[in-house]
């Protein structure tokens, strides 16, 4: 039997999670669930300088909202913890020692000023096989000097020693075999004595190995790091348990070229973060999909299609359906354009899919807050009539307020177009016609009113539009008689009289 996959989502808590990160997590989730494997959250917080308070909580809250649950995480624990890199210092130190002992890494004492001077002196300076022997490190200094510098607490870094001229193969499940020559790589810093912490690259590889990660699924921006990671696996003697890689396509701006950024969101007025985020330093507020009225199911469906497609016409997929259908073969290599209209379309589709009663229960709470207490059955009928027209739940009030409150003003352009000289008399007559009706159902109203219009030789459009203006205050809304049935006879008549009195 094949080994059950173990995948991880490994964000760095350096700010709000970008929507692309949510897409990455989703693909990890789908793959894990499809194969009956494990989906792990690992917090990569070794870069203390970039740590932002609240970012980790934000990540957890995002996945709670989306309903994507982790099998192992800082919160849930698991057999391979701790799941926060800042709590794994000793583990990394041990591996740094092993690398040093094997001669696969070395200690470097070059100060920032010395490195700066070198860069100024040599264009495109890179710390690598061609330059390392000119630098101050354990390869060039006598052994005793290295020892005494460490003893005297001189700060140092550990660098990985990349041997030039070797082919490094990254087997990518989406991109196929990517081969790179080690000569282009530099001797990256993998550990800093200053904070006794590894850098991202080492911590990432060590943890993937120790947490028995089988597939590294992450954004394309990490593809350039992959050869170094493969090199680290080899240097640590772990090449036999190297995970498979899958680098997901970049999310592109809605228009033009380049990566989707927060600035695009600000400029075009849409969220690029799952939840609202308030920057703890500047107090700056960034929109979130949740606060903008997106349903979690809609956002998931939308994100699933940013870089993957099922190869069929079907666009609406529940999480279960996505889990069944997902595959790397159907992931694209080229960037996925972020299309906000599509996101809205998905939200609309999920609102339509939601049972009216469920919509009504949510909306009724909002109504009660406004001091409007209407039976759930009526609210259910009302939302059923207007849900075709909304993209977000918060648009419900705007689309339905006239069901609950008589209009206080009348849309000017409709008045100009529809309120004619003969209209007041017609509306008065219509009011008395309705007055005489016992059955106020939409169907009965319609047949009686239409008959009356015909008998009098009125223009149907003019009468009905004026009627709508009187009841709704504007030229919008669903079928007229369904509105009046829900509003009721008395209120309808009252509104007709009010309109006659108030519209000039």
Quick one: the chain helix, strand, coil %, rounded to 5? 50, 10, 35
Cβ count near 368 (within 10 Å): 11
In the complex, least distance from residue 196 CB atom to ligand GLU, rounded to whole angstroms: 19
Q: Which of 7, 10, 228, 487 binds ligand GLU (CB under 6 A)?
A: 10
Name which of 27 and 109 has its Cβ closer to ligand GLU: 27
Question: Is the separation of the CB atoms in 41 and 59 below 8 Å?
Answer: yes
Annotated catalytic residue 489: no
Question: Is the separation of the CB atoms in 65 and 296 below 8 Å?
Answer: yes
Question: Is the separation of the CB atoms in 475 and 469 below 8 Å?
Answer: yes
Please identify, among the stretches 4-12, 174-182, 337-345, 400-408, the one whose residues bind ligand GLU according to the rule CB under 6 A. Answer: 4-12
Angstrom distance (rounded) from CA 102 to CA 97: 9
In the complex, least distance from residue 42 CB atom to ligand GLU, rounded to whole angstroms: 8
In the complex, least distance from residue 356 CB atom to ligand GLU, rounded to whole angstroms: 41
Name which of 12 and 347 has its Cβ closer to ligand GLU: 12
Name which of 11 and 37 has its Cβ closer to ligand GLU: 11
> What separation in angstroms does the CA of 466 have from each of 77, 411, 451, 459?
65, 11, 17, 11
Largest Cα separation within the chain, whole Å, is 112
The residues in 44-73 that bind ligand GLU, with binding defined as CB under 6 A, are 44
Q: Could you say whether residue 204 binds ligand GLU (CB under 6 A)? A: yes
Residue with tokens 């998931």: 300
Q: Which of 89, 262, 342, 417 is catalytic?
A: 262
Phi, psi of 39 (to 5 degrees): -115, 120
Angstrom distance (rounded) from CA 143 to CA 497: 100
Please identify, among the stretches 10-18, 265-273, 370-378, 468-476, the one whose residues bind ligand GLU according to the rule CB under 6 A. Answer: 10-18
In the complex, least distance from residue 13 CB atom to ligand GLU, rounded to whole angstroms: 9
Question: Is the separation of the CB atoms in 215 and 7 below 8 Å?
Answer: yes
Residue with tokens 């870094």: 157
The residues in 134-173 that bind ligand GLU, with binding defined as CB under 6 A, are none
Nearest to 483 by CA among 426, 415, 424, 434: 434
Number of residues that bind ligand GLU (CB under 6 A): 9
Instruction: Please say whether the dihedral angle defined by the alpha carbons of residues 498, 501, 502 and 504, taken in this order, is positive or negative.
Output: positive
Please identify, among the stretches 5-13, 33-41, 181-189, 444-452, the one whose residues bind ligand GLU according to the rule CB under 6 A. Answer: 5-13
Name which of 12 and 465 has its Cβ closer to ligand GLU: 12
Binding mask 245-264 for ligand GLU (x = CB under 6 A): --------------------
**What is the 8-class DSSP label of residue 84?**
B
- DSSP lists the bridge partners of residue 157 as 108, 192
Name which of 28 and 400 has its Cβ closer to ligand GLU: 28
* Residue 156 C-alpha from the chain's centroid: 39
Name which of 244 and 310 has its Cβ closer to ligand GLU: 244
Binding mask 205-244 for ligand GLU (x = CB under 6 A): -----------x-x---x----------------------
Name which of 11 and 478 has its Cβ closer to ligand GLU: 11
Q: Strands of 45-156 (E only): list them.
A: 105-108
Please identify, among the stretches 7-15, 111-119, 231-239, 274-282, the one whose residues bind ligand GLU according to the rule CB under 6 A. Answer: 7-15
Q: Please provide the size of the chain in residues.
A: 504
In the complex, least distance from residue 247 CB atom to ligand GLU, rounded to whole angstroms: 10
Token pair listed for 368: 């009660």
In the complex, least distance from residue 275 CB atom to ligand GLU, rounded to whole angstroms: 17
Q: Which of the residues are catalytic? A: 262
Query: Residues in the site for ligand GLU, rule: CB under 6 A?
Result: 10-12, 44, 200, 204, 216, 218, 222
């Amino acid at each position: 039997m094949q080994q059950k996959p173990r995948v991880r989502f490994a964000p760095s808590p350096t700010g709000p999670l970008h929507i692309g990160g949510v897409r990455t997590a989703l693909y990890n989730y789908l793959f894990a669930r499809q194969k009956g494997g494990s989906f792990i959250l690992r917090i990569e917080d070794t870069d203390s300088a970039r740590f932002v308070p609240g970012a980790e909580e934000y990540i957890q809250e995002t996945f709670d909202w989306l309903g994507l649950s982790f099998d192992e995480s800082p919160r849930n624990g698991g057999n391979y913890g701790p799941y926060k890199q800042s709590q794994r210092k000793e583990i990394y130190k041990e591996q740094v020692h092993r690398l040093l002992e094997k001669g696969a890494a070395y200690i470097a004492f070059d100060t920032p000023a010395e490195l700066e001077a070198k860069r100024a002196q040599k264009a495109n300076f890179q710390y690598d096989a061609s330059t390392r022997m000119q630098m101050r490190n354990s390869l060039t200094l006598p052994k005793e000097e290295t020892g005494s510098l460490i003893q005297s607490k001189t700060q140092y870094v550990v660098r990985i020693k990349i041997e030039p001229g070797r082919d490094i193969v990254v087997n990518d499940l989406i991109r196929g075999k990517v081969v790179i020559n080690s000569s282009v790589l530099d001797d990256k810093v993998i550990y800093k004595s200053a904070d006794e912490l590894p850098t991202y690259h080492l911590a990432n590889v060590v943890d993937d190995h120790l947490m028995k990660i089988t597939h590294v699924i992450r954004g394309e921006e990490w593809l350039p790091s992959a050869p170094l990671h493969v090199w680290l696996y080899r240097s640590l003697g772990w090449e036999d348990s190297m995970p498979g890689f899958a680098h997901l396509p970049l999310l592109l701006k809605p228009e033009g070229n380049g990566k989707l950024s927060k600035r695009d969101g600000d400029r075009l007025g849409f969220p690029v973060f799952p939840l609202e985020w308030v920057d703890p330093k500047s107090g700056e507020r960034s929109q979130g999909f949740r606060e903008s009225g997106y349903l979690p199911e809609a956002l998931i469906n939308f994100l699933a299609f940013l870089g993957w497609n099922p190869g069929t016409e079907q666009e609406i997929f529940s999480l279960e359906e996505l889990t069944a259908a997902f595959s790397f073969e159907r992931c694209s290599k080229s960037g996925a354009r972020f299309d906000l209209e599509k996101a809205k379309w998905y939200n609309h589709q999920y609102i339509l899919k939601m049972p009216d009663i469920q919509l009504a229960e949510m909306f009724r709470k909002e109504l009660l807050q406004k001091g409007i207490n209407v039976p759930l059955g009526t609210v259910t009928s009302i939302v059923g009539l207007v849900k075709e027209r909304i993209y977000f739940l918060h648009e419900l009030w705007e689309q339905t307020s006239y069901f609950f409150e008589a209009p206080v003003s009348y849309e000017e352009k409709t008045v100009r177009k529809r309120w004619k000289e003969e209209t007041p008399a017609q509306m008065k007559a219509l009011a008395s016609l309705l007055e005489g009706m016992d059955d106020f159902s939409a169907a009965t109203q319609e047949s009686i009113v239409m008959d009356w219009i015909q008998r009098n030789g009125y223009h149907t459009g003019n009468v009905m539009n004026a009627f709508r203006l009187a009841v709704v205050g504007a030229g919008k809304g669903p079928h007229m008689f369904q509105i009046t049935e829900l509003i009721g006879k008395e209120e309808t008549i009252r509104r007709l009289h009010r309109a006659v009195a108030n519209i000039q």
